[in-house]
């Protein structure tokens, strides 16, 4: 079966601390993977996508980075969080044409 896992579900981090969010998928090899952010009043914004191991494309300039160390693993990171990094982060993939999203991580930077 094709599944997507994302963790943690919630995270409260102080300004200036590092961040690591992980997304893993099962069921398909060499999938395209995506990180989205949903901020209040701004809708869903594509942050990064990856078409393969080590291949990362960034859609917007920001304080975040992404990595794909394994075929089915996609990581979202920051060295120093800003207040503006708060939001709901969603990982996604499209194994069968349509997109499937993970359950999301609610990040609050304090």
Partner 1 sequence: KQEVTQIPAALSVPEGENLVLNCSFTDSAIYNLQWFRQDPGKGLTSLLLIQSSQREQTSGRLNASLDKSSGRSTLYIAASQPGDSATYLCAVKGGGADGLTFGKGTHLIIQP
Asked whether position 14 contacts partner 1 by CB under 8 A, the answer is no
Asked whether position 34 contacts partner 1 by CB under 8 A, the answer is yes
CA separation for the pair 91, 36 (Å, rounded): 6
- Which sign does the torsion angle of CA 102, 78, 42, 34 carry? negative
Question: Is residue 18 left, alpha or beta, with left meaning phi > 0 and alpha meaning psi from -120 to 50?
Answer: beta
CB-side neighbour CA atoms (13 Å) of 60: 10
- Binding residue (CB under 8 A) for partner 1 from 15, 26, 59, 80: 59
Using CB under 8 A, which residues numbered 61 to 90 contact partner 1?
90
Tokens in use for 29?
């090899």
- Binding residue (CB under 8 A) for partner 1 from 13, 24, 73, 100: 100
- Binding residue (CB under 8 A) for partner 1 from 53, 99, 108, 110: 99
- Binding residue (CB under 8 A) for partner 1 from 17, 30, 57, 84: 57
Asked whether position 106 contacts partner 1 by CB under 8 A, the answer is yes
């Amino acid at each position: 079966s094709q599944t997507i896992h994302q963790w943690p579900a919630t995270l409260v981090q102080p300004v200036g601390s590092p961040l690591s969010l992980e997304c893993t998928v099962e069921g398909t090899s060499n999938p395209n993977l995506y990180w989205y952010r949903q901020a209040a009043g701004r809708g869903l914004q594509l942050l990064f996508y990856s078409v393969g191991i080590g291949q990362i494309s960034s859609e917007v300039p920001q304080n975040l980075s992404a990595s794909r160390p394994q075929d089915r693993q996609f990581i979202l990171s920051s060295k120093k969080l800003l207040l503006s990094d708060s939001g709901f982060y969603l990982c996604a993939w499209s194994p069968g044409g349509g997109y499937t999203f993970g359950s999301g991580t609610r990040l609050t930077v304090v």
